[in-house]
Structure 1
Amino acid sequence: MNKYSKTLLFIASISTFNIFAGSSEQFQVTIPTLSSEIEIDGEFSEPQWQHASEVELKFETSPGENIAAPVRTTAKVFASETSLFIAFTAYDPQPKNIRANLRDRDNSWGDDMVGIKLDTFNNARLAYQFFINPYGVQSDSIENELTGLESDAWDGIWYSKGKITATGYQVEVQLPLRLFNFDDSHTVQNWGIEFIRFYPRNQSRRFSTHKIDRNVSCQLCQLGVMQGLEGAKQGKDIQITPSFVANQSNQRPLSPKGPWEDETNTEVGLDLRWGMTPTTLLNATINPDFSQVESDAGQLDVNNTFALFFPEKRAFFLDNKDYFDSQMELLHTRNISSPDYGVKITSKTDDHTVGVLATNDIQTQFLVPGNLSSDIATLAQESHNVAARYRFDPSKQFSIGAVMTLKKADDYHNYVYSTDLKYQPSQQDTFTAQYAYSDTQYPNDLFNQFCNGDDCAIAPIECDLSSCDYNERVLRTNKSDAFSDNMFKFTYKHDRRNWFASSQYESIGDDFRADLGFIEKIDAAKFVAGGGYRWYPTDQFFSKITVAGDWDITHTQQDEKLEQETEIYIELEGGYQSYIASGIAQRERVGRRHNPSNINIQNNTQMFDETMGWFYTNFVPMKALRLELDVNYGDNIDFVNDRLGTLTMLNPGIEWKVTESIVLNLSHRYQTLDVDDGRLFTANLSDLRLNWQITLNSFIRLSSVYTDIERDPSLYIYQQPKAKYQDLGNEILYGYKLNPQSVFYLGYSDAFKANDDIDNLTQNEKTYFMKVSYAWLL
């Protein structure tokens, strides 16, 4: 038997191996198909509800372990040829304790909620999730079993109404079948399903229609079965969304202060969303508005050597984003900053999942990685960007796939080719593996972006931190010819009710690049192993206790030690919806290179011993208040001066629901680094968000992010930084959302700066903007 035949036999054998997944042994409901639809008004007066199937959420699955639910919840469900309808009745002996607030979409977590989880292919890979609070506020997401993540970035157009009653609350829902990828060639559908209710009181309780086995690591493998939807058709599923965007931007230099320069822009764009078949979706955009309506959360960029990560928020990239996910971050679409056009096709048929994305970008932006630092590079060249993903799922236990990304400009390119697999031989064991190969060419002068000197084309034979302008990014980008390398990653996880263990090995070559992704560390090989034990006390303040730890070690590809760490921690979940975690880590790691023109680690760096303790908690002492605290204290390398310091970090946060429609979120990060001769810096970051949800569809949002960094220049050995840096960004936004794609936004934002040369916070940017878009459903 040849190698190819053995591979086919292996795949065939594992495809016949069965574990729980969309099983009628878990739960089963038959959905009747009725001839007419209903009005979604939160009332159950239509005659169709008399013929609907009814189920009851009998079990508490968390924190109780499949015990009887303390309050009653029922759901009625039926279908028409084009929609699925659900009516939830959530009983409560004390309706005044119901937690419900007017919120924007996907922002009602922590409220009382009911919802449904649907796996339309019943293959335990992806599931749609829809949740609704008592006022009808919607939250939707996609759960991806392959990556173990849930993404609320996906926004579908569906309908819901809710109302609080004398006995609890009730919610009515319509889910158009056009939302889903499914095979409508089947006369009768068999989907994985779970009905869910969240009941937040002293603890946040989760109720379900069926039991959840904590000894099974796969969650989507434990859904029940929904049978029915006879004659269901997805319909045309064509959505055309024209948009108009206008903004006026004003900027001026501050050192020295100059005149304001005004720029006015108006743009007309068009988005197309077309369900070409029930399982294939086409997204296309022309002249899109890819500005972000919501500003990013503030981050401190102080004593960091690696680039900061910001999540994607733009709708075009988020639709069916999960189809492109793998075990490595090979696609991070915020590397595509400002395209003129884009097209994306995603498809799932039987065991095959395909995604293809192509856009241009008016510039070329990518991450330059290293083993001690990384940074962003930008070329003033138009680039073309392509990503493709294929996955084959011959069984619920086995998945194999491939990823390809291409990024190309005039004298630059980066091509990445990858293959990956996931195998679950049992209900507790999971193996994953991924291999990637890259081919890259940089412009000959790219390294000059990272060199502060007059000429860094030729490195000095000998230099030190005080005399050499070189850094790792210069060394990584000073390449005259195309170069290539590879990366591979293996993981194993064993997860049972009471204990878990895992190990991982990852190796990234020094010339590997993933410029459409977010791989910030290269020239490194890391091994990590860890595990822990869990307890589930009953009738105690804490309902779940976890004690765990791990050990890891990292070397360069030349077997030079970069880091070794041992960590142990404890996690507690219990009353007041509390989560408490604390741990201590002991780490050895290298500082910066002594001779920056030499890429070597050995005899070119110093190894530091760090001991760091950390503590984190969040809890809800009353239904209108959520408190959070993050604390770090211990040894930390002063990377600028290559020495050991003492880090103190305090990060408190508060969410105050002032009324049912007004919520205040405030967080503050205080961070200091002390060295032998005094305090090197003090950094403060305050992030304030105030949201007034006027109605379910309209809101006013205010945000303000303030950064204040004070340094003592006399304590810096190799450079003389400014003693003061201040930055303030503000935004006020009015929004009206008929649905996620039909919106009207009107807003204003500005920015202020101060430093040694600018005495007080002085305004240097201000922008007025408006956006209108409307989704036509055909």
Structure 2
Amino acid sequence: MARFVLLLAACCSLFSATVVAYPPAKQFALAHLQEQVKLDGNLDEHVWENATQIAVNTQNEPLERAASPVNTTAYLFDDGQFLYLGIDAKDPNPEAIRGALRDRDELWQDDNVGIIIDSLNDERNAFEFFVNAYGAQGDILATDFDTWVEDPSWDAIWYSAAQIHSDGYVVEMKIPLTVLNLPKTNEPITWGISIARNYPRDVFYRLSNVGFDLDIKCSFCQFDKLTGLANRTEHRDVLFTPHISASRHDSKEHVPGDWQSGDVDVEVGADLRWRINDETLLNATVNPDFSQVEADAVQLDVNTNFSLYYAEKRPFFLDGSSYFRTNQQELFYSRTIAEPDYGVKVTGKQGAHTYATLVADDANPSVLLPGNQGSSLVQLQDDVTNAVARYRYDWGQRSGVGMTLTQRQGGDYHNTVAALDGTYALNASDSFNYGLSYADTDNSALFVENWDVAADQSGKAISLALERTKRDYNLRGEYQQIDEDYRADMGYQPKADFREYVLGGGQTWYGDDGASITKWQYDLEWDKSFDLDGDLLEQEFEGYLYAEGPLVSTYELGMWHSEELYYGEYFIQNNGYVQFSIRPHQDLTYVLYADYGSRIDYSNARLGEGADIENSLSWDVNQHLQLKVNYNYSELDVDEQSVYRAQQWDLRLYYKFNIRSMLKVIWQFEDIDRNQQAYLYSQVHKRNRDFGSQVVYSYKMNPQSVFYLGYSDSGYQDDSLDELQRTERTFFTKISYAWQL
């Protein structure tokens, strides 16, 4: 570590700490008007003539701070309770407008417009509200501590309408001021704002009222400023959402065999969202219905030695999730809480202080046991109580420091993690990030016996990163060390007992106006890791070439070379890959990833040759019907003998009757054909097939007022079965309604 720290210190001679004078922001005064607006996608009411007008005339992609190819004008005002926004998006060829009726947060590749609001003017947090030309909504909780990070899983209740006209399209929005984290004051409030338009044609244009300087790492610090809201009215912000669900789960005791019908299970619960004051938000849930109404995207779990990661989708954990985010280590991974009966969460921000706490029980807890050769996901015997607390203090122009404490306890088991992390902005382009944490674990006697771990475990984790991000190039250096007995049981830490060094960087070039290639770059990276006894675990060199071209296409060609230790032997692996995406038609998008080369056969601890192919196709058949197809393929050979052939399908069909009503059909299938003679240390089935299907009708008045009616099933086939057999099936319905009090 000492040598690497010296290398980082030498690199710091390139990084000077200075106070940055950002480009002056344009200033706007928000109009306060009391007239009514009908949300219909027409700006024909008289009130819009008196609204604050902002021109969206700057192109930021593909050209930096260039003239916009189309005209866009935004109109804004408030009435004390709502922010109103109208956007007139002109288009010389309305027939080319891309989009359809979509589910929430599925509009990002469409023609869409929106507003990004830094409501605290702290240049670190923002709310995003977007609408496509057909009225589909998308909302995002964004942070800009060291780089722009977006969380589209956040959902708010707001109102919008859109309509396509002969000269483009118009969007109207009505956003409750209670949705925004506003400072408590009777004085005028200043926001940072960016009005944005995404205009996908032969290339993908990103337009704004702000011209972003790419040599400045932060984006929110470059927003224009909007001042007003001195006349906003006090409004109690309480959202109470009772829900009732009913389901019946059937299974088979013997396969093949007859169905065993389960009982109808009726559950009643409620969620509460209460903004205690302008700075603090309380979320609570009792008997939550955390069943997912859409299956996770499939991932091939074959020839892998570390646990897979799945995104969070449950509403209670999503609201305010960014307040728990740490910049170097994922100390709180909410999907570790599987089956809670209750949950309470408090999040907020006051000035430079951000705080968040969460407490929830779990009747089905699991633990990720990490190592430097792989990880295992195992169940705990006792119910547990989970608690997490997070505090962050922001200072300077882009710097901040945070503290996190997590506690999981049940029976004679507990896991506690205490951590410190932060960002120090050296100047407009350079930053230093760090994370330090300590974990202490007491394992139950039965857990020790079953999984051969020590009764008491403790260890620390260290993560350091120095990065320069410029318009034309980037440089980075990283160091990470995780002790053997370090376990963050409420987080996602699949690897332990290692120290790793990373150095990397690359360059970027931009095409001129009208060029067929609008952007191209290369990136190179070297990393080396050791176990804590000093033995080499892995050394890897990797690099890629990347370009963006016509038909919204991207091209990436890369390779990596590694020397990796696995079960006492070093294996040299050489691999190449290609990644390609294109939009040959305004309603069709295709993405391909393929790699080939030598790789470790982790089941048998030897070197083989393999290939992976991932395909995805998205087709808007019309504005109501959408088809998504994902197909993955993987193969591995050793000494010209097949070890396995695996393929996986994920088909999703969506039919939107209107912006609220949708029918969803999902079918998933996995087929792994294993060569039993090629498995040296374990007995495996030659035939391994799994499938699942789901049909769901949904009606959504808003993200919390919903009705679901659905059916799902799953099954398998192995060597003991002559055909695929369904083994599980579920019928379910759910109704919830959000009461704004």
Cα deviation, 1:620-640, whole Å, max 9, x if unaligned, reads 001011001010100110011
Offset of 1:380 from its aligned partner? 3.0
Residue 137 of structure 1 corresponds to 136
- After the TM superposition, which residues 12-31 of structure 1 pair with which residues of structure 2 at under 5 Å, given as runs? 17-20=19-22, 25-31=24-30
Q: Which moved more, 1:621-630 or 1:37-46?
A: 37-46
Residue 458 of structure 1 corresponds to none
Q: Does 1:747 align with 2:691?
A: no
- After the TM superposition, which residues 385-464 of structure 1 pair with which residues of structure 2 at under 5 Å, given as runs? 385-447=386-448, 449=450
Distance in 1, matches of 2:360 and 2:21, equals: 40
Residue 482 of structure 2 corresponds to 508
Alignment equivalent of 1:550, drawn from 508, 522, 525: 525
Cα deviation, 1:315-368, whole Å, max 9, x if unaligned, reads 000001000000211000100000000000001001000000000111322211
Residue 210 of structure 1 corresponds to 210
Look up the SS of the partner of 1:301 in the other structure: coil
Q: Does 1:536 align with 2:510?
A: yes
Residue 312 of structure 1 corresponds to 312
Residue 491 of structure 2 corresponds to 517
| Alignment gaps of 5+ in structure 2 | 1-15
Q: Which moved more, 1:257-266 or 1:75-84?
A: 257-266
TM-score, normalised by the number of residues in structure 1 = 0.91
Residue 38 of structure 2 corresponds to 39
Look up the SS of the partner of 2:221 in the other structure: helix
Residue 567 of structure 1 corresponds to 542
Alignment equivalent of 1:672, drawn from 635, 643, 659: 635
Cα deviation, 1:249-271, whole Å, max 9, x if unaligned, reads 00113446465242321100010
Whether the 8 Å CA contact 1:123–1:395 is kept in 2: the answer is no
Cα deviation, 1:630-687, whole Å, max 9, x if unaligned, reads 1010011001111101011111111111111111000111100000051100001101
Whether the 8 Å CA contact 1:146–1:326 is kept in 2: the answer is no
Offset of 1:425 from its aligned partner? 1.7
Alignment equivalent of 1:484, drawn from 446, 455, 458: 458
- After the TM superposition, which residues 160-179 of structure 1 pair with which residues of structure 2 at under 5 Å, given as runs? 160-179=160-179
Distance in 2, matches of 1:299 and 1:647, equals: 17
Offset of 1:376 from its aligned partner? 1.1
Whether the 8 Å CA contact 2:292–2:314 is kept in 1: the answer is yes
Whether the 8 Å CA contact 2:20–2:428 is kept in 1: the answer is no
Whether the 8 Å CA contact 2:527–2:539 is kept in 1: the answer is yes
Look up the SS of the partner of 1:277 in the other structure: coil
* Structure 1: 4+ residue segments shifted above 4 A: none
Q: Does 1:767 align with 2:739?
A: no
Q: Does 1:690 align with 2:653?
A: yes
Whether the 8 Å CA contact 1:161–1:171 is kept in 2: the answer is yes
Whether the 8 Å CA contact 1:15–1:394 is kept in 2: the answer is no
Distance in 1, matches of 2:531 and 2:266, equals: 50
Look up the SS of the partner of 1:170 in the other structure: strand
Distance 1:747 1:553, change over 3 A: same
Cα deviation, 1:170-189, whole Å, max 9, x if unaligned, reads 01111110111110314111
Whether the 8 Å CA contact 1:707–1:727 is kept in 2: the answer is yes
Q: Which amino acid aligns with 1:555?
A: F
Distance in 2, matches of 1:200 and 1:561, equals: 47
Q: Which moved more, 1:261-270 or 1:731-740?
A: 261-270
Residue 357 of structure 2 corresponds to 356
Residue 272 of structure 1 corresponds to 272
Residue 11 of structure 2 corresponds to none
Distance 1:295 1:400, change over 3 A: same
Offset of 1:97 from its aligned partner? 0.9
Distance in 1, matches of 2:396 and 2:330, equals: 25
Offset of 1:712 from its aligned partner? 0.7
Cα deviation, 1:473-500, whole Å, max 9, x if unaligned, reads x45xx213x2211101000110111110
Offset of 1:401 from its aligned partner? 0.8
Residue 104 of structure 2 corresponds to 105
Offset of 1:446 from its aligned partner? 1.4
Distance in 2, matches of 1:255 and 1:742, equals: 40
Distance in 2, matches of 1:426 and 1:744, equals: 50
Offset of 1:586 from its aligned partner? 0.3
Residue 646 of structure 1 corresponds to 609
Alignment equivalent of 1:611, drawn from 570, 574, 599: 574
Q: Which amino acid aligns with 1:499?
A: Y
Cα deviation, 1:129-169, whole Å, max 9, x if unaligned, reads 11111121111101211263211000010000000001111
Indicate the percent of aligned positions where both proteins have the same amino acid.
35
Cα deviation, 1:578-615, whole Å, max 9, x if unaligned, reads 11111010000012x3xxxxxxxxxxx10000001011
Whether the 8 Å CA contact 2:162–2:171 is kept in 1: the answer is yes
Look up the SS of the partner of 1:139 in the other structure: strand
| Alignment gaps of 5+ in structure 1 | 1-13, 450-473, 594-604
Q: Which moved more, 1:141-150 or 1:364-373?
A: 141-150
Distance in 2, matches of 1:512 and 1:728, equals: 37
Q: CA RMSD in A?
A: 1.5
Whether the 8 Å CA contact 1:59–1:67 is kept in 2: the answer is yes
Offset of 1:574 from its aligned partner? 1.9
Distance in 2, matches of 1:187 and 1:233, equals: 12
Q: Which amino acid aligns with 2:275?
A: G
Q: Which amino acid aligns with 1:348?
A: K
Look up the SS of the partner of 1:542 in the other structure: coil
Whether the 8 Å CA contact 1:184–1:232 is kept in 2: the answer is no
Q: Which amino acid aligns with 2:392?
A: R
Q: How many residues align?
A: 723
Distance in 2, matches of 1:15 and 1:348, equals: 27
Distance 1:234 1:293, change over 3 A: farther
Distance in 2, matches of 1:534 and 1:250, equals: 56
Q: Which amino acid aligns with 2:117?
A: L
Distance in 2, matches of 1:17 and 1:353, equals: 24
TM-score, normalised by the number of residues in structure 2 = 0.96
Distance 1:175 1:610, change over 3 A: same
Alignment equivalent of 1:581, drawn from 551, 556, 559: 556
Whether the 8 Å CA contact 1:664–1:689 is kept in 2: the answer is yes
Look up the SS of the partner of 2:270 in the other structure: strand
Whether the 8 Å CA contact 2:609–2:636 is kept in 1: the answer is yes
Offset of 1:715 from its aligned partner? 1.4
Distance in 2, matches of 1:272 and 1:299, equals: 34
Whether the 8 Å CA contact 1:254–1:758 is kept in 2: the answer is no
Offset of 1:234 from its aligned partner? 5.8
Q: Which moved more, 1:41-50 or 1:437-446?
A: 41-50
Whether the 8 Å CA contact 1:687–1:704 is kept in 2: the answer is yes
Distance in 2, matches of 1:47 and 1:91, equals: 20
Distance in 2, matches of 1:150 and 1:84, equals: 22
Residue 126 of structure 1 corresponds to 125
